[in-house]
Amino acid sequence: MQNNDTIAAIATPPGRGGIGIVRISGSNLQQFAQAILGKLPDPRHAGLFNFLDQDNQIIDQGIALYFPSPNSYTGEDILELHGHGGPAVINLLLARCLQLGARLAEPGEFTLRAFLNEKLDLAQAEGIADLIDASTANAARCAMRSLHGEFSSAIHQLVNALIDLRILVEATLDFPEEEIDFLQSAHATEQLIAIREKLEQILAASRQGNLLQEGIKVVLAGQPNVGKSSLLNRLAGDEIAIVTDIPGTTRDTVRQSIEIEGIPLHLIDTAGLRETSDIVEQHGIARTYAAIEQADLVLLLVDSRHGVTEEDHSVLARLPERLPVLTVHNKIDLSGKLPHLEEDTSGTAVYLSAKEGAGITLLKTALLKTAGWQANIAGEGAYMARQRHLQALMRTRELLARAATWLHTADQLELLAEELRLAQQALSSITGEFTNDDLLGEIFSSFCIGK
């Protein structure tokens, strides 16, 4: 997929704006600059230019920036034309670039080139897309840390520690008669323990980042009139989250997205789940069930005067058993109960009044806790991990657990060596050292054009 033809795209969002930017990246931009600007701008110096068409008529006047290879975003030569942000003028500028031989860039192609030219690794490239897509301030900060390379450097440290251990094990394979003593004196067991501990820390921090990015998916259940709308309004307060597409769900299955302490909360409604012969409705119900499969927990709302009813039990029975259930006993102002929280083996129950607001903080805390949010890790150290990263980390965890068993028995050194090799490969897929073209295509196609 390596291409080094010249690509161009509008880098600013569609519509009207103060400025609009057309970006060109390629191996030799001299002729583009000459034709559009009359000369190549000084490297990395903003200059005011007339942008010219093929008849030397002025399309627009604006700032041009030139970043010669390799010190540019893509690692190639880059020319940026900052014109006035009207769709017509910006499209004329883009058309001029295409006329001069540039090709319209694919989504994410600038960043793909940056990755292929080793300006950033795969996790950093994903950090850029996540930063652009971040729907909360917390998520944006977390994506910035990935982009900055904190996640990648934690992964690299772990890979290096694994390599050290692999060298030791591979060397031992060459001297079979001394193997056990040799591994013991080199503290192989301790090394593996340290690696596994570090992996657990990274996994915990990644889970937090994943929650920040994807949000907590909550299935909302409860009979009519128990106060679901009132509770959502109360929880949302002024903080309505920006609804972005949520992996595994379609937008119509999400009733509302709100934000609690900077974490997006997506509510999947069960109201429409019923037996029906209507085909359209059946499709909708199937989509809702698919969304429910991806959920993190069930929020069951009941009237505290009646508690959990038969109908509630039958709704719960249709939801996946693995989902933790958080039961909210609403309207305590009518039942005379006090706001409080009860925890037992069947789950957590919160008593509150959506109308008066009593107990709402208890619910917020319980919601975040049930979804696995750990404020202590999340504040500073969360990594903006994608599902792909979590899967790679979990696979590494499995492989290292097996490696630990082999190391313990110390009679299957080839198997130990193989598990360690696979673990290194799984970890390296995060930063892109072992990644196939299909995966790259999938990752970069989700970017916006011009990035």
Return residues touching ligand GDP (CB under 6 A). Answer: 222, 224-230, 330-331, 333-334, 353-355
Give min distance, CB of 378 to ligand GDP, in A.
Answer: 30
> Least CB distance from residue 339 to ligand GDP, whole Å?
11
Cβ atoms of 425 and 400 within 8 Å: the answer is: no
290 vs 308, beta carbon nearer ligand GDP: 308
Residue 29 or 221: which CB sits closer to ligand GDP? 221
Encoded tokens for 409 = 């028995």
Q: How far is the CB of 343 from ligand GDP (least distance, A)?
A: 22
Distances (CA, A) of 123 to 66, 176, 184, 361: 27, 39, 35, 35
Strands 216-221, 297-303: pairing kind: parallel
Give CA–CA dist 69/281, Å, rounded: 56
Least gap, CB of 229 to ligand GDP (angstroms): 3
**CB nearer to ligand GDP: pick between 51 and 351:** 351
Determine phi and psi for 230, rounding to 5 degrees: -60, -40
For ligand GDP, the closer of residues 266 and 386 by Cβ is 266
CA separation (Å) from 73 to 51, 68, 102, 167, 427? 23, 10, 18, 36, 26
- 226 CB neighbour count, 10 Å cutoff: 23
Write down the least CB distance from residue 277 to ligand GDP, Å: 25
Specify the residue, 272 or 379, whose C-beta has the smaller distance to ligand GDP: 272
Q: Please, what is the minimum distance in Å from the beta carbon of residue 363 to ligand GDP?
A: 12
Peptide bond into 70 cis (omega under 30): yes
- Indicate the residue among 255 and 287 with the shorter CB distance to ligand GDP: 255
Nearer to ligand GDP, 326 or 413 (CB): 326
Q: How far apart (Å, rounded) are the C-alpha atoms in residues 210 and 388?
A: 10
Nearest-angstrom CA–CA distance, 307 and 155: 48
Beta bridge partners of 256: 267
Q: Which helix (H) or strand (E) holds 123?
A: helix 122-133
Least distance CB 272 / ligand GDP (angstroms): 13
Tell me how far, at minimum, the Cβ of 150 lies from ligand GDP, in Å: 43
C-alpha distances out from residue 117 to 69, 70, 159, Å: 10, 9, 22
Instruction: Please report how close the Cβ of residue 342 comes to ligand GDP at its closest, in angstroms.
Output: 18
d(CA 186, CA 347): 47
Tell me if 144 sits within 8 A of 126, measured CB to CB: no
The beta strands (E) that lie in 245-310 are given as: 254-260, 263-269, 297-303
Nearer to ligand GDP, 62 or 222 (CB): 222
Q: How far is the CB of 78 from ligand GDP (least distance, A)?
A: 53
Q: How far apart are CA 343 and CA 333, in angstroms?
A: 21
Smallest distance, ligand GDP to C-beta of residue 383, A = 37
Q: Residues 6 or more apart from 120 whose CB is under 8 A from it? A: 111, 114, 128, 147, 149
| Closer to ligand GDP by Cβ: residue 15 or 224 | 224
Pairing of strands 17-26, 77-85: antiparallel
Of 228 and 389, the one with the shorter C-beta distance to ligand GDP is 228
- Looking only at the bridges linking them, the beta strands covering 7-10 and 103-104 are parallel
Which of 211, 367 has the CB closer to ligand GDP? 367
